[in-house]
Amino acid sequence: MSKQALSPRDQAALDYHAEPKPGKIATAITKPCTTQAELSLAYTPGVAVPVLAIRDNVADAYRYTGKGNLVAVITDGTAVLGLGNVGPLAGKPVMEGKGVLFKRFADIDVFDIEVEAESPQAFIDTVSRIAVTFGGINLEDIAAPHCFEIEAALQQRLDIPVFHDDQHGTAIIIAAGLLNALELQGKSLAQARIVCLGAGAAGIASMRLLVALGAQRDNIMLVDRKGVIHGGRDDLNAYKREFALATERRTLAQALDGADVFVGVSGPDLVSREMLAAMAPRPVVFALSNPVPEIRSEIAREARDDLIMATGRSDYPNQVNNVLGFPFIFRGALDVQARSINREMEIAAVHALRGLARLPVPAEVLQAYGVETLEFGPDYIIPKPFDPRLIDVVPPAVAKAAIASGVARAPWPLHYPAQD
């Protein structure tokens, strides 16, 4: 990027990352170390005592080290934001940014790790060998379909949560907002006909979660660059084939004709006014391509005055933002030393987020967003990221599901509210 090509906003972004110290995250000392006695406890000879304790009981690592509050944010750089395969090093600012969000919203420590891997198996082997350091692993910006193989292999190998946020984080926020939107539109998930444009990590994971929540697989039509995913295609990987339908529809326009729901996780300006007009009465439109949605909000609202719409943008109502999910989901998982983040925990997060949107909004949230009022309705179907109640609502729901489903190693945390 040349200096001449930089806009003021681009320059401000570079300055933010460069000054007064390069990068966005750093390590911190959590214990005093100002005297000889403290030094002897922090390192030799005192450090030998917890070493021997952990040797004899590996669970003591959660007691005597930072493992239980430490997440690795790991990428191979193959699908960074909307920029594609920029490589692991170029992906580092994004991984550091993820660390900022973990710390800011859930007080979770992060090491960002960028891996040069020549194959999915090399990536899997690398992550497996270093995983003992961490209480959880957040996979980030890994291209489909390899991301599915990588996550599944690591989940099988490791006894700590492995969570690909581009899959499950996106799916959880979509599901929470969609359930609320459908209710407001007088429709049910079980009966809704859903079209998903984008058959990568986010699209497939979102449709899988909706099926787990009650959507009918035969009512879900997945569309990729080549059109509707149907049983007659011979170019489908195993993940797309999972959603192949027996249908005569072939184009996005044909798929959207009469659909109740559109979920876009693809690219800009791919849905026309005419496609939107052909959807069923009271449609739900989640156009999540960012910064330019699949159909722009202004066009969508001109074409349909009966829709509920969400985007990935913060300057429109109903932003689908993963920061509503991953910090709080990991917080709940770490607080009970979960071995995984399973489907039960994901569903618990969905319902916690869904329920929070129905509660009266505190004044501090209104002030943060510069609005006079927010209440559950077409323009407020999911909570705002700066809602301070997220940390009180989502982690306990996730922790409760972890305990109930048998993946927790620790009991209900004492600092959590008493269970019902």
Give the closest residue to 316 by CA, choosing from 372, 386, 378, 388: 378
Which of 3, 16, 24, 43 does the annotation list as catalytic?
43
Active site residue 43: yes
Pairing of strands 227-228, 220-224: antiparallel
Of the residues 21, 31, 64, 98, only one is catalytic, namely: 98
Q: At 234, is the secondary structure helix, strand, or coil?
A: coil
Q: Which helix (H) or strand (E) holds 222?
A: strand 220-224
Neighbours of 157 (CB within 10 A): 13
Beta bridge partners of residue 114, listed in sequence order: 75
Residues belonging to the chain: 420
Residues 6+ apart with CB under 8 A from 152: none
**Region label for 164, one of left (φ > 0), alpha (ψ between -120 and 50) or beta (otherwise):** beta
DSSP reduced 3-state for 227: strand
**HSE on the CB side for 247, CA within 13 Å?**
19
Burial pattern 249-281, b for ≥16 Cβ within 10 A else e, equals beebebbbeebbbbbbbbebebbbeebbebbbe
Q: Say whether 224 sits in a helix, a strand or coil.
A: strand
Q: Read off the tokens for 390.
A: 């997220």
Which of 70, 354, 310 minimizes the C-alpha distance to 209? 354
Task: Print burial letters for 177-197: b (CB count within 10 Å at least 16), e (below 16).
Answer: bbbbbbeebebebeebbbbbb
Backbone dihedral region for residue 282 (phi beyond 0: left; psi -120 to 50: alpha; all else: beta): left
Q: Please state, in angstroms and rounded to a whole number, the distance separating the CA atoms of residues 107 and 390.
A: 13
* 98 is an active site residue: yes
User: At 195, is the secondary structure helix, strand, or coil?
Assistant: strand
Residues labelled catalytic: 43, 98
